[in-house]
Structure 1
Amino acid sequence: MLLPMRSTIADYWRRESPLGLMLDYDGTLTPIVPDPTQAFLPPAGWELLLKLCRHPWIRVAIVSGRSVSQLRFFLSALTGEAITLCGLHGGEIYVPQKDHFLRQPNREQLQQQLQPLREKVIAQLTAANLLNSGIFLEDKTYSLAVHYRQVEASVKPQIIELLYGLFTHDTELTAPFKLQPGKEVLEVLPRTFDKGDCVVFLWDFWQLRQGCYIGDDVTDEAAFVAVNQRGGLTIAVGKTPGTTQAQHICSEVGDVYRELAALASQSKS
């Protein structure tokens, strides 16, 4: 007789109240890929998310650095499902089932603030002969991500130094923003956009007593701290002990799927 799969999340959840399941996207539900536009979910991801979204006692949210419009594209098959999409590290929070934003930035104001900074970033990268070094500039409307995964290793420190130097020396221009590091990316992001603040919002909005956050990047550490403070469960993907605020570790995306599959199989209503 086969024993049921074990799940850290299923073991944590007491089932006396809804479980908030908050998941990063890139590096958590899909492996990191060289081209960010090709980060599609594998079939197993679709199947698991559908099961979890349809469970009456599980609240599912994707908390990503991607914009809501990007998340809607990658997760279009879930439009009618009970899922919440949190884009730009929680700067925008959208419920596709109701076509409703719970949180939406002031587009005009942020674009006016970001445009001169975007132009200066591009100008400085161009002046330093770095713009065509393999950099991919991703305009997210409210933020600008500078991906340098495809840049030669010897050149990457120059890009990092240039951007941090800009934020250090031009404090008036950069004041409304922060430079958020990620996996082979630096993002010019409004200071108020933060995954920790996002999960606090969801926790209160859903009136949770139990919640779980799974992520893999530097940006997820603030969410780990916020969830830990509320007695929740935190799981880091691809980290080593001592390098993360998360309580538990999954070595890869496949382990995340095994966790979620076990949760789905043990929590049938």
Structure 2
Amino acid sequence: MKLLNDGLSIDSFWGRLASSGNRILMLDYDGTLAPFRLERDKAMPYSGVKDALTRIMDIPRCRVVLVTGRTVSDIASLIDIHPLPEIWGAHAMERLDKDGIYERNPVPPQTEQLVTDLYNWLFLKGYKSQTELKPGCLAFHTRGMEEDDAKRLILEIKDKYLELIKNNKREDDLETHLFDGGIEFRTRGADKGRAVNAVLREGGMDAAVAYLGDDFTDEDAFKAIKEKGLGVLVRRKYRETAADLWISPPDELIDFLSYWEEMCRR
């Protein structure tokens, strides 16, 4: 565990968590709660994670929120916690609240069609298993590929995207984002920071909050929580980040969750 923000006292944060009657723990999934897997449907949480989250959810006034680039349905099947925690999926394009009510942000028809056209092209190219279609988003995964092949494919996909825009006289209404192991095309404004800001507004100024994430896509969340709570980079190898604290999974992750539970029970 390494403190990255000299202006933050981790002891003061734990003290605030222990004394607060309003705690919110927000967590990414892939790379944070679960190791990356080539077979994405088999990316199960690290040993001990489900039990730790279940215990935290059982504590009064402790809100657990999963914020992920995956779809809500994907995460619900993988996390396998009953009842489910709150889940914000597809970079805040969809939400399953703590009462099981599902909401999905509307996507303009032309944007949805653009995402679908790009997906169909990748499907015909034989890349169905590497392609993830989500509400207003499309992700292409290069994990497991040779580096040169991955770079070539990413450039080819970008070129095809620009071709689709030009041929159909469409606006460039998607944002392109590289992530650890691929490229993603998203509806403008869809990012994890959007989910964090919404949760912070709902939680109120007195909430003791933290966000745990690993990827470049989590940087929007770290920036959103800055000076309002604790941003935690969960990653075995350090990288530049806006997070306040760096921990290495799985051992330090389990330690963090256990200490969160202990402080909340006080």
TM-score by length of 2: 0.83
CA contact (8 A) 1:135 1:149 kept: no
Give the drift of 1:207. Answer: 1.7
CA contact (8 A) 1:21 1:59 kept: yes
Q: Distance in 2 between matches of 1:258 and 1:178?
A: 36
Superposition pairs of residues 143-158 of structure 1, within 5 angstroms: 143-158=137-152
Give the drift of 1:143. Answer: 1.9
Q: Distance in 1 between matches of 2:215 and 2:158?
A: 19
Q: Structure 1 residues 207, 119: CA separation in 2 closer, same or farther (over 3 Å shift)?
A: same
Q: Distance in 2 between matches of 1:141 and 1:111?
A: 11
Letter paired with 1:92: E
CA contact (8 A) 1:135 1:146 kept: no
Aligned residues: 252
CA contact (8 A) 1:134 1:151 kept: no
Structure 1 residues 100-153: Cα deviation after superposition (integer angstroms, max 9, x where no partner): 13x4222xx546533344324653796xxxx44796111224321111113222
CA contact (8 A) 1:135 1:148 kept: no
Give the drift of 1:166. Answer: 4.6
Give the drift of 1:71. Answer: 1.5
Letter paired with 1:90: A
1:136 and 2:137 aligned = no
Letter paired with 2:67: V
Letter paired with 1:195: K
Identical pairs, percent:
22
TM-score by length of 1: 0.82
| Range moving further from structure 2, 35-44 or 17-26 | 35-44
Which of 76, 81, 84 is residue 77 of structure 1 equivalent to?
Answer: 81
Q: Pairwise CA RMSD of aligned residues? A: 2.7
Q: What secondary structure, in the 3-state scheme, does the structure 1 residue paired with 2:66 have?
A: strand
Give structure 2 stretches of 5+ with no counterpart.
1-9
Q: Distance in 2 between matches of 1:193 and 1:141?
A: 10
Give structure 1 stretches of 5+ with no counterpart.
1-6
Give the drift of 1:204. Answer: 0.8
1:28 and 2:32 aligned = yes
CA contact (8 A) 1:21 1:212 kept: yes
CA contact (8 A) 1:29 1:45 kept: yes
